[in-house]
Structure 1
């Protein structure tokens, strides 16, 4: 009887990813996929749309606002997962977006970017930028998606993401053409990933062209003046950290760079900070019913729904 040999591991990035010598990729953290649907608990409906070949998004609309004529803020959401895990249809994100959209009273577009390592970085950045451009192409009311044409208020466009998704949000903002000094209404950075100050083997593997710990995408705060200048496309920023998050220090550094910019006049936006005491990285996705997760959900929803909008255009 022939003995079945286990495939030999080439790279072990536990608890996230294993890569085998035969080319097999094993994702160790998983969340089952949910289809778009009407959610009776939150009164939010969703559907999937193809933005371009290989790139899609899931759009959420709060049905409870249907009778009203007023248009709603729009949220472009980027999911986390170390650039190599999860999708817009993953249960933890689908359920979170249903709750957030219901509470904030907004329309959300959850980006389904292609994952590394099958699609090496910076593909995830470019896919997310492509979806952002697609969303903003509806600002004249003549885009291909009626939910955006009919219900979205393009004077109130927000970006939000968690972990790697927050990293991608920062990248989208700094790639926005600021030649006319037009700005996003706000960005919410939830437990952002900006490295941990030491070599990161997973990052290096997923992003073959990276310069490692010196990569500006990994650590934008390493050049504070440059970061504040680039982020000026955004007029309001919420930074959320977990008290026991292993990425807390870099999240706080990001916040401090912006705070110092406010004080010296280099950045003129509004800045908010929320720390969930005693909580770990993206705890709110895995324990959505705990008090701290509810507080975080409310804070992000309030950030979106309570902003004072001004007219602005988009040039990307």
Structure 2
């Protein structure tokens, strides 16, 4: 059974933009080509020439939606993430979780764990994502989630 996609005003998908708009740029990155697991990165404009002392904390967010709906590119999340990265002076990453019913649980939890492993590989220099490697401080990574995303935080840690 496939659920009809929601079409509320906050659920409009927004494309990524690597140019800064209102102080924030966004990028979609495939972190696992075999599973097609992707993340959206939100980078604030203010720290474009970072030094090791000025690198930004990384906030890894898992979205809610009862494991069935929601995406990081929805307008409602875009608005939250852009405010968050500017006010917290941090980089936000949100995971395009595999959704039920097409993907049975614990698929979304597995995606959360895979994302943590990806961040670990970046921190160890085993892989590279320029926005994170150049601007992110891997000694300050914070996991947050709303609704079912909070469950993923608990499972992925």
Q: TM-score, normalised by structure 1?
A: 0.45
Query: CA offsets, 1:212-269, max 9 Å, x none?
Result: xxxxxxxxxxxxxxxxxxxxxxxxxxxxxxxxxxxxxxxxxxxxxxxxxxxxxxxxxx
Once residues 148 and 140 of structure 1 are traced to their aligned partners in structure 2, the CA distance between those partners, rounded to angstroms, is 12
Q: Secondary structure at the match of 1:65?
A: coil
| 2:137 matches 1:153 | yes
2:50 and 2:134 in contact (8 A); partners too: no
1:1-316 pair list within 5 angstroms = 23-28=1-6, 30=8, 31-37=11-17, 38-41=19-22, 43-52=23-32, 53-69=35-51, 70-173=54-157
Equivalent-residue separation in structure 2 for 1:27 and 1:59 (angstroms): 24
Q: Secondary structure of 1:26's partner?
A: coil
What TM-score do you get using the length of structure 2 for normalisation? 0.88
User: Pairwise CA RMSD of aligned residues?
Assistant: 1.6
> Which deviations, in whole Å up to 9, do the C-alpha atoms of 1:102-140 show, x marking residues without a partner?
111111111111100111111000011101110121112
8 Å CA contact 1:39–1:98 kept in 2: the answer is: no
User: Whose Rg is larger?
Assistant: 1
| Alpha-carbon distance in structure 1 between the residues aligned to 2:120 and 2:68 | 26
Any gaps of 5 or more consecutive residues in structure 2? none
Distance 2:77 2:59 in 1: 14
Distance 1:123 1:160, change over 3 A: same
Is the 1:101–1:107 contact (alpha carbons within 8 Å) kept by the matching residues of 2? Answer: yes
Deviation of the 1:64 alpha carbon = 1.2
What SS does structure 2 have at the residue aligned with 1:160?
A: strand
Structure-1 separation of matches of 2:124 and 2:56: 15
> 1:64 aligns to what SS in structure 2?
coil
Deviations 1:186-235 (A, max 9, x none): xxxxxxxxxxxxxxxxxxxxxxxxxxxxxxxxxxxxxxxxxxxxxxxxxx
Q: Which has the bigger relative contact order, CA under 8 A and spacing at least 6?
A: 2
Residue segments in structure 1 that go unaligned for 5+ positions in a row: 1-22, 174-316
Shift of 1:78: 0.5
